[in-house]
Amino acid sequence: MATSGTTAFDLDIDEIIQEAYERCGATARTGYGLKSARRSLNILFSEWSNRGLHLWKVDLASVPLVEGQAEYNATTDSTNFPSNVNEILEAYVRDNSTTTAPVDTPITKIDRSAYSSIANKLSKGTPSQYYVDRTKSPSVFLYQTPSSSFSGSSYLLKFYYLKRIEDAGAYTNQTDVVYRFIPCMCAGLAYYLSLKIAPDRSQNLKLLYEDELSRALTEDSSSTSTYLTPKVYYPGT
């Protein structure tokens, strides 16, 4: 049986828009229609940031610790702190003073209320907690702040973070979306466009979109080993 032998299928922005318009029973014929659809696609990507974790957008950052510094962001360290942070998932500090045997110590994420209740936020020591200020450009606040013996290029704040999905750019570009999310991306854009050009189809397109997105998010979850332990019953107990 002959097959293509390729696994490179992807869609350009204009093909995604055309697919969505066809599902609405229409065709994008004007420059404004294309511009409106691209805007809707970017809004869709923004909405996905409220829908949970997307594993293909998780990355690891490494930021050198500075003695006595509590706040870390893309302004305080534009070289190492990423500028496209959507959420910080988990963090740890690394003692890399012995390069052949680095030591990683997990630090605990706390909320704003817990951080605000700390009396001396500039107390120095080994960081054990962090608070994420989720502004437009997020910041990480450490407690304790790094001491002189736990700072410098050999001591790092390392964190896994969820990156923003890149904007839909030129129509000939491809999106910053993995293969398994193509169906729900097309379905989502079709639903968004239907609100503007085919409201009679919106309900059905929304149901299809939610179904496609649910499957994609389920598939995008992290798989781990499962261990089954049989329950033992003892007579007379």
Where in the chain are the domains?
55-163
User: How would you class 213 by CB atoms within 10 Å of its CB: exposed for 0-12, middle for 13-18, buried for 19 or more?
Assistant: buried
Neighbouring CB atoms inside 10 A of 155's CB total 21
**Model pLDDT, residue 220:** 84
**Model pLDDT, residue 226:** 59
CA 208 to each of CA 3, 9, 87, 203: distance values in angstroms, whole numbers, following the listed order? 30, 22, 28, 9
**Model pLDDT, residue 237:** 56
**Model pLDDT, residue 38:** 95
Structure tokens at 88: 């910080």
CA nearest 155: which of 68, 58, 59?
A: 68
Q: Which residues of the chain have pLDDT under 70?
A: 222-237
pTM for the complete prediction? 0.85
**Model pLDDT, residue 62:** 97
